[in-house]
Amino acid sequence: MPHPFILVLHFPPESPLTSADIEDDIAEAVGNPRDDEDADHIVDGNEIGDAIEIFVFTRNPADALELCKPLLQEAGLLDTMIAATRKVDGERFEVLHPSTYQGEFRL
């Protein structure tokens, strides 16, 4: 499997993010603005409801998050977002950010 993990960037209602327009900027941040299937990270859509989620398929979720952090910090989003990962075929998420997160993350 070329991208065994999914990284979810979760922006809850209290986040200043109001649309998924940042998705293209995240693709640029992870070094794949053209959705190259052979790249290490592929931004692959979003879900908008009470919260906004951006999905990144990746070979290394921690690396993908580190590449996104400067953009998210500059946009004022890092302090209110949650980044969680799991294997594509897995069920349980591991929260990567914030390190103080308590509880189980679910979509």
Domain membership flag for residue 67: yes
Which structural domain, as residue segments, surrounds residue 30? 5-41+56-97
Domain membership flag for residue 79: yes
Residue 46 pLDDT > 60: yes
- C-alpha closest to that of 54 among 89, 90, 30: 30
- C-alpha closest to that of 106 among 62, 51, 56, 65: 51
Q: How many domains does the chain have?
A: 1
pTM over 0.85: yes
* Reported confidence tier of residue 2, pLDDT bands at 50, 70, 90: confident
Domain membership flag for residue 83: yes
Domain membership flag for residue 103: no
CA dist 104 and 40 (Å) reads 27
Res 1: pLDDT:
53
Domain membership flag for residue 19: yes
Domain membership flag for residue 104: no
Q: Which residues of 54-76 are buried (b: 16+ CB within 10 A; e: fewer)?
A: bbbbbebbeebbebbeebbeeee
Domain membership flag for residue 48: no
Domain membership flag for residue 107: no
* Reported confidence tier of residue 67, pLDDT bands at 50, 70, 90: very high
